[in-house]
A = this chain, B = another copy of it.
Amino acid sequence: MSSHSKPFGEFDLIERFFKTAANSLRTNANQAITLGIGDDCALIKPRAVEEIAITSDMLVEGRHFFAGANPELLGRKALAVNLSDLAAMGARPIGFTLAIALPTADNTWLEAFSKGLFAMAEEYSCPLIGGDTTAGPLTISITAFGALPKGEAIRRSGAKPEDDIWVSGTVGDARLALAALRHEITLSSEDLQQIEHRMHNPTPRIELGMQLRNIASSALDVSDGLLGDLSHILKQSQVDAEIQLDKLPKTDTLQKQDLQIQNQFAACGGDDYEICFTASASQRDNIQAISKSIGLPLTIIGKTVPKKDDAVKVYLLHESGALLSDAEAAPFLKSFDHFAS
């Protein structure tokens, strides 16, 4: 919580800037925060029956976002991707720290960035409680904290054979936006706008995660691509999976594309920030009720099956239930080491 270098005026200003914004938010802050910004450490005090969930993500210019990216949306997304990890465990957000390196003290950029950041923080009752500011290549490192009842965290390791595999919302949209921005495909300006929103402004599924406690057997957030991320659940739970490609939930915009592209983007696209989870078939009614109550589509895309070999496998199925051929499955192999076909 200190600069570890000689104080330099412009960055003192930045620090004060974030501090002021953070303090105005703290008036509504979570009771778990007993000390916010301004000391060597922040202090949090969970309730006696609670655990603290912790997640860290680092966003680097040129890798996770384009140079010149809209700073307001970047501020939103930087926090959203961390909240998405909290959601995947079923945690309620309680606060976050921000360490940020900035090449210059650009007031216009900072105002827009912090506007987005603090808007997201306020929407999810997740105040800034500390951090660090320095000069350097634009790098945003956030660590977010959530609370959840002891023992109720939804881990990746809890899936059982014959569980349903679910995914929230739609997948493949951010990948479609990326393809459009790279001029690999062409979209109408209306479609592009809608789909870019999904890429730049993901919605952390906090309410879903909290409602899935004691219902989902395992969960994670989809950030690197559905099938690749699903493999983490399979490895940690030691089960295989059958996935029906035609069941993957897709926006109308994605459905206008060639079927091969639809499936590729939905199955392997990345940057979706939806929740993939497993649950016993006996939970279907409960899960549909959750979907209705929070207004978010939840879709069964396949099921877990007993593991056959040492390495876990995903079996990709046609609508008919037949396995995809080697040639058909090959495009999906890129994001997953252990496919069966």
Chain A residues packing against B (C-beta within 8 Å)? 1-7, 34-35, 38-46, 48, 51-64, 81, 85-86, 88-89, 91, 97-101, 129-132, 134-137, 139, 141, 143, 145-146, 150, 153, 155-157, 219-221, 223-225, 228-229, 236, 270-271, 335
Contact = CB atoms under 8 A, between A and B. Distances in A.
Contacts of A52: 43-46, 52
A266 to B, nearest CB: 16
A97 B143 contact: yes
A137 B139 contact: yes
Contacts of A7: 224, 228, 335
A54 B4 contact: no
Contacts of A97: 54-56, 143
How many copies of the shown chain assemble into the complex? 2
A257 to B, nearest CB: 20
Given A3-B224, A4-B64, A56-B143, 8 more contacts: A4-B223, A42-B55, A43-B53, A44-B54, A58-B134, A60-B139, A61-B136, A99-B143
Given A40-B88, A89-B39, A89-B41, A55 B1 contact: yes
A218 to B, nearest CB: 10
A99 B1 contact: no
Contact of A40 (B55, B132, B270): B55
A169 B84 CA distance: 44
30 contacts: A2-B221, A2-B229, A4-B59, A4-B224, A4-B271, A5-B63, A5-B64, A6-B225, A38-B156, A39-B153, A39-B236, A40-B55, A40-B89, A40-B156, A40-B219, A40-B220, A41-B146, A41-B153, A44-B52, A45-B150, A46-B52, A52-B52, A54-B130, A56-B98, A56-B131, A57-B99, A58-B100, A60-B134, A63-B135, A137-B137
Contacts of A88: 40-41
Contacts of A1: 55-57, 85
A89 B40 CA distance: 7
B5 A132 contact: no
| 6 tightest A-B CB contacts, nearest first | A60-B136, A141-B141, A58-B99, A41-B53, A40-B88, A143-B143
The residue in A4, A97, A101 that gathers the most chain B C-beta atoms within 10 A of its C-beta is A4
Contacts of A229: 2
A91 B61 CA distance: 35
Contact of A155 (B39, B135, B270): B39
